[in-house]
């Protein structure tokens, strides 16, 4: 018999129960996933905006997940990575870090190398 309890889902399809499983599925749903405040088009915090700018500059397509749309995801992603802040960047399902780590990797030239090692396609920045 199926459980017909008070499960509710938000617009992204997150169940309020089993949030860890939902987050795990999202982390693994794309090569590059950024849990952030706001959207890639409209970041709602400076740190999220910095990571978006870095990813755009590197030329890597990514999926943005707006934690402001769901409190369970906002807290759940912190528990998932045991990392207290947002944004959080995942590459091929692996937690990379927050804004400071991503910025340091980018400035040291390590972010592009890491993406290439993981087999993530990077757009040719000379185009457009």
By CB atoms closer than 10 A (0-12, 13-18, 19+), residue 88 is buried
Measured CA to CA, the distance from residue 123 to residue 61 in angstroms comes to 8
Burial class of 1 by CB neighbour count within 10 A (0 to 12, 13 to 18, 19+): exposed
Asked if 63 contacts 70 with a C-beta cutoff of 8 angstroms, the reply is: no
Per this entry, what is the length of the chain? 128
CA–CA separation, 81 and 8 (whole Å): 24
> Has 99 been labeled as part of a binding site?
no
Binding residues for [2Fe-2S] cluster: 45
Binding residues: 45
């Amino acid at each position: 018999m199926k459980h017909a309890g008070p499960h509710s889902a938000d617009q992204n399809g997150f169940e309020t129960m089993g949030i860890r499983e939902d987050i795990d599925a999202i982390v693994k749903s794309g090569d590059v996933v950024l849990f952030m405040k706001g959207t890639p088009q409209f970041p709602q915090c400076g740190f999220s905006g910095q990571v978006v700018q870095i990813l755009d500059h590197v030329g890597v397509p990514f999926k943005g997940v707006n934690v402001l749309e769901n409190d369970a995801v906002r807290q759940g992603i912190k528990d998932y990575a045991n990392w207290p802040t947002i944004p959080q960047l995942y590459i091929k399902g692996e937690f990379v870090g927050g804004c400071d780590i991503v910025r340091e990797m980018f400035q040291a030239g390590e972010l592009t190398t890491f993406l290439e090692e993981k087999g993530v396609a990077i757009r040719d920045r000379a185009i457009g």
